[in-house]
Amino acid sequence: MAKKVQNATVEKSIEDRIWESANKLRGSLDASEYRNVVLGLIFLKYISDCFDHRHQELVEEG
């Protein structure tokens, strides 16, 4: 009797996919130059989170 062969592909976590994307985008930049890009993205994420939090507070207030 033939056995079913299961799909061997394993889905990657979102963190792994983001890391791979960041490495592709980095290209040939030196790590010290890439640092500025990453710090900018971290800052934008922080501001976005603060905005979402404040927006939710204002929605709850009415």
pLDDT at residue 8 greater than cutoff 80: no
Q: What is the dihedral of CA 26, 19, 14, 47, to 10 degrees?
A: -70
- Residue 37, C-beta contacts closer than 8 angstroms, at least 6 positions apart: 26, 29
32 C-beta neighbours (distance < 10 Å), count: 7
pLDDT of 43-59, one tens digit each? 999 999 999 999 999 99
Q: What are 15-41's pLDDT values in tens digits?
A: 888 888 878 877 777 778 878 878 888
Q: What is the pTM of this model?
A: 0.51
